[in-house]
């Protein structure tokens, strides 16, 4: 695999992680796997859906790289790849922090400007005072 | 998907390629609005920390447009867009393009909500035309760490494939 293809694949994968986690059942499965590995049967137990439906959800999570299946042929326990989840969470948290920093500066700007005498005409300030 | 319960909240929409940021301010809507439309005030807080922002033009009214540069250590990033709908103290709808990628455009909607008692809730929604762009946009919060982040994701995904 050459380098440019790798970058494309990762951009796709990030999107896949986002869309995989867009579904509430899949988020629930991920939350339960964060407590430890589980079999498909164990994961399906609390839901009023077929094993097949849960397997489909797991396939989506697997394709996104979020979970893997164990080698044990009998149980094939599902394992959460926490690193992938951590990476995505870090991305979003970093983005949130940047927005927060920016808005803290806006807080300071808001503190520095006097109350507008005529709030119906706030956009007329075109030149710096 | 709610990802944070901190003061600034981020919502990554699973259905459309949008990111929504919600934040409250201890100032009335007129003031928060003014800090967005007055270029002298806007340039004091917009852009990443430690960067300098200069406007080429900035005419925040319905049908107006803007162009500005964010500069850091000799590196310049230019942005431009159009103000589609501007209603004092209530709403700004605008387009936003990074000139390094001129075919890309985000549609941004800023809603200024009066919470009473001199407080405002600002909801900023940014909609792009593909999930790939949106996710890259979220990932760009890593700034210089984006490439490193992708490399790490590559490694992890290579191991789990």
Strand partners, B109: B93, B125
Q: Which residue has the higher pLDDT, B27 or B14?
A: B27
Residues shown for chain B: 161
CA–CA min distance A50, chain B (Å): 24
The DSSP annotation for A7-41 comes to HHHHHHHHHHHHHHTTSHHHHHHHHHHTT--B-HH
Give the rounded percent of residues in chain B with a pLDDT score beyond 90.
42
DSSP-derived 3-state class of residue A44: helix
Mutate to test the interface with A, among B4, B47, B153, B161 (most CBs of A within 10 A): B153
- B35 and A106 within 8 Å at the Cβ level: the answer is yes
Q: Which residue has the higher pLDDT, A44 or A4?
A: A44
- B46 and A102 within 8 Å at the Cβ level: the answer is yes
Which pLDDT score is estimated for B153?
38
Mutate to test the interface with B, among A21, A70, A109 (most CBs of B within 10 A): A109
What is the band of B140 on the pLDDT scale with cuts at 50, 70, 90?
low
Contact yes or no for B35/B45 (Cβ under 8 A): yes
| pLDDT at B26 > cutoff 60 | yes
Q: Which residues contact B40 (CB under 8 A, 6 or more apart)?
A: A125, A127, A128, A129
For the segment A103-110, the average pLDDT, to the nearest whole number, is 91
Give the rounded percent of residues in chain A with a pLDDT score beyond 70.
78
Give the rounded percent of residues in chain B with a pLDDT score beyond 70.
78
- Select the highest-mean-pLDDT range: A29-43, B63-77, B110-124: B110-124
CA–CA–CA angle A112, A114, A116 (5° rounding):
135
Query: Complex ipTM above 0.85?
Result: no
Please write the tens of the pLDDT for every residue from A71-105: 777 778 999 988 887 777 777 777 788 888 889 99
Please write the tens of the pLDDT for every residue from B84-95: 999 999 999 999
Which pLDDT score is estimated for A117?
57
For the segment B135-142, the average pLDDT, to the nearest whole number, is 61
| pLDDT at B16 > cutoff 70 | yes
| pLDDT at B10 > cutoff 60 | yes
| pLDDT at A11 > cutoff 80 | no
Q: Which residue has the higher pLDDT, A117 or B109?
A: B109
Which pLDDT score is estimated for B88?
97
What is the band of A116 on the pLDDT scale with cuts at 50, 70, 90?
low
Chain A residues 27-86 within an 8 A CB cutoff of chain B? 27, 65, 68, 81, 83-84
| pLDDT at B115 > cutoff 90 | yes
């Amino acid at each position: 695999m050459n380098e440019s293809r790798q970058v494309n694949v990762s951009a796709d994968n990030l999107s896949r992680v986002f869309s995989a986690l867009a579904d509430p059942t899949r988020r629930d499965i991920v939350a339960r796997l964060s407590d430890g590995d589980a079999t498909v049967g164990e994961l399906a137990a609390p839901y009023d859906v077929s094993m097949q439906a849960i397997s489909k959800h797991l396939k989506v999570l697997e394709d996104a790289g979020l979970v893997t299946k164990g080698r044990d042929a009998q149980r094939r326990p599902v394992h959460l790849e926490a690193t992938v989840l951590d990476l995505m969470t870090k991305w979003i948290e970093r983005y949130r922090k940047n927005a927060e920093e920016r808005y803290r500066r806006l807080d300071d700007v808001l503190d520095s400007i006097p109350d507008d005498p005529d709030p119906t005409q706030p956009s007329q300030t075109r030149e710096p005072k | 998907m709610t990802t944070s319960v901190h003061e600034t909240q981020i919502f990554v929409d699973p259905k459309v390629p949008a990111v929504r940021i919600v934040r409250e301010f201890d100032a009335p809507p007129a003031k928060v609005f003014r800090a967005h439309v007055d270029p002298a005030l806007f340039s004091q807080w917009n852009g990443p920390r430690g960067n300098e922002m200069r406007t080429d033009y900035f005419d925040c009214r319905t049908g107006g447009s803007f162009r500005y540069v964010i500069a850091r250590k000799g590196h310049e990033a230019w942005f431009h867009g159009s103000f589609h709908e501007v209603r004092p103290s209530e709403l700004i709808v605008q387009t936003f393009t990074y000139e390094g990628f001129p075919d890309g455009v985000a549609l941004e909607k800023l809603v200024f909500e009066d919470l009473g008692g001199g407080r405002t809730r600002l909801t900023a929604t940014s909609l792009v035309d593909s999930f790939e762009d949106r996710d890259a946009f979220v990932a760009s919060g890593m700034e210089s760490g984006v490439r490193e982040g992708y490399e790490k994701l590559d490694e992890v995904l290579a191991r789990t494939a």
